[in-house]
A and B are shown apart, each in its own frame.
Chain A
């Protein structure tokens, strides 16, 4: 067993450790009952700190934004307008989706036919995806590794202002109960920023909006985690470099 971490448990509970130190402490807690019991006790005390905060009212619209985003009808960011799909004629746009998918996936040497079928299957549920692609988007493909081999995901960063980035996954395998998949954006300095958490829904294709701007990051990756928050612990199951935008002449 690793050395006990009692000296760092208060800072760990308060979220005041560096990522490296937090990972070291978490690794020890996974195997040490006594330290874990103390950490949970401290966590209960720290957990009441939000109750000391002056209460404020969010805007009344926030509730509906949360629910609407959960329905997948609007992007998840407050400051961005909802995406209109009312005037879209579906099939020409689906053609654009398929073309984009084939181009991206062809470059990544992935079976385009499978992806084509998958994207087609998604058409009824991904109006936002369709519109984003119609208006143009930078894309990067992440190929699944090991147990995720055969699956993959394309990160779309729409050109149009106000459009939220998202990842279009295909053929995701089921994951163990209690686990969650996390999309990360990684900076040049190897800082990992959590962009989204999700669980595969069993469909051929799944669209996951991400909550961060893509600009400024060098890499995107997906890991399988125990919790939808905190530092990265899980192994990378797919990843891609994110090329910088072309420089204007």
Chain B
């Protein structure tokens, strides 16, 4: 990261080689289309390039930092595209969350572990977490969308994340 902060292009290339594919996959998962996803990835890497001096290791590793930027950018675009109104639940769920592509077969053990931990959640908890994180919905929108009280949405998020934490600790 210090090399990136020093504006060394080689450091940016290394960062891209290491995380570019995952960053694109995340952006594509959120936006559901390749052109917008590539724009987000490009913007995110440029943000990292320009803002590397502001990177703080105590707030996460470079991978988490970069993917946070990708996530925020992609969700911002998604929310602006839908003018902050939730799309139909069915449409959100049709996004390629669970598709079994050839590329997915290449995943390493850690990736599969996370997928398994997510899949192991009760459907309501998994759906709440996925729609919040990948669908860009606020908890209030999810309450309306799913027809449950706000407290139920919060509870599903809380219990779901707690279970994921335990699953990952157990699996790793």
Are A56 and B21 in contact (CB-based, < 8 A)? Answer: yes
**For this complex, into which size category does the number of interface residues on chain B fall?**
35 or more
Are B80 and A15 in contact (CB-based, < 8 A)? Answer: no
Stretch from A90-98, A147-155, A194-202 at the B interface: A194-202
Name A177's closest neighbour in chain B (CB-CB). B53
Are B20 and A58 in contact (CB-based, < 8 A)? Answer: yes
Are A196 and B50 in contact (CB-based, < 8 A)? Answer: yes
Contacts of A79 in B (CB 8 A): 35, 39
Contacts of B60 in A (CB 8 A): 43-44, 47
Contact A11/B67 with A54-B103, A78-B38 known, Cβ cut-off 8 Å: no
Q: How far is the CB of B170 from chain A (nearest CB, A)?
A: 13
Are A194 and B76 in contact (CB-based, < 8 A)? Answer: yes
In angstroms, Cα B29 to Cα A230, docked, is: 19
- Residue from the set A50, A78, A177, A198 with the largest chain B CB neighbour count within 10 Å: A50
Contacts of A42 in B (CB 8 A): 161
A228 sits at the interface (CB 8 A) = yes
B132 sits at the interface (CB 8 A) = yes
Contact A52/B118 with A13-B161, A69-B42, A191-B80 known, Cβ cut-off 8 Å: yes
- Our pick among B21, B42, B136 for the contact of A77 (Cβ within 8 Å) is B42
Are B16 and A45 in contact (CB-based, < 8 A)? Answer: no
Are A67 and B12 in contact (CB-based, < 8 A)? Answer: yes
- Our pick among A7, A65, A180 for the contact of B42 (Cβ within 8 Å) is A65
B115-131 to A contact mask, C-beta < 8 Å, 1/0: 10010000000000100
* Number of A-B residue pairs with CB-CB distance less than 8 Å in the complex they form: 205
B24-54 to A contact mask, C-beta < 8 Å, 1/0: 1110110000110111011101111111011
Contact A58/B138 with A46-B161, A198-B50 known, Cβ cut-off 8 Å: no
In angstroms, Cα B49 to Cα A45, docked, is: 26
Are A15 and B118 in contact (CB-based, < 8 A)? Answer: no
B92 sits at the interface (CB 8 A) = no
Q: How far is the CB of B33 from chain A (nearest CB, A)?
A: 11
In angstroms, Cα B132 to Cα A200, docked, is: 35
Are A56 and B25 in contact (CB-based, < 8 A)? Answer: yes
Contacts of B48 in A (CB 8 A): 228
A246 sits at the interface (CB 8 A) = no
Which parts of B97-112 form the interface with A (CB within 8 Å)? 97-101, 103-104, 106-107, 110-111
Are B110 and A47 in contact (CB-based, < 8 A)? Answer: no
Contact A15/B16 with A10-B154, A58-B24 known, Cβ cut-off 8 Å: no
- Our pick among B24, B25, B56, B73 for the contact of A178 (Cβ within 8 Å) is B56
B68 sits at the interface (CB 8 A) = yes
Contacts of B148 in A (CB 8 A): none
Q: How far is the CB of B168 from chain A (nearest CB, A)?
A: 7
Are A48 and B114 in contact (CB-based, < 8 A)? Answer: yes
B87 sits at the interface (CB 8 A) = no
Are A67 and B157 in contact (CB-based, < 8 A)? Answer: no
Contacts of B39 in A (CB 8 A): 77-79, 211
A71 sits at the interface (CB 8 A) = yes
Q: How far is the CB of A226 from chain B (nearest CB, A)?
A: 7
Contacts of A190 in B (CB 8 A): none
In angstroms, Cα B39 to Cα A78, docked, is: 6
In angstroms, Cα B38 to Cα A49, docked, is: 20
Query: Which 7 pairs of residues, A with B, have the shortest CB-CB distance?
Result: A228-B51, A16-B132, A10-B157, A58-B24, A51-B114, A229-B72, A180-B54
A residues whose Cβ falls under 8 Å from a Cβ of B: 7-8, 10-11, 13-18, 40-59, 62-63, 65-67, 69-71, 76-79, 177-180, 191, 193-194, 196-199, 208, 211, 226-230
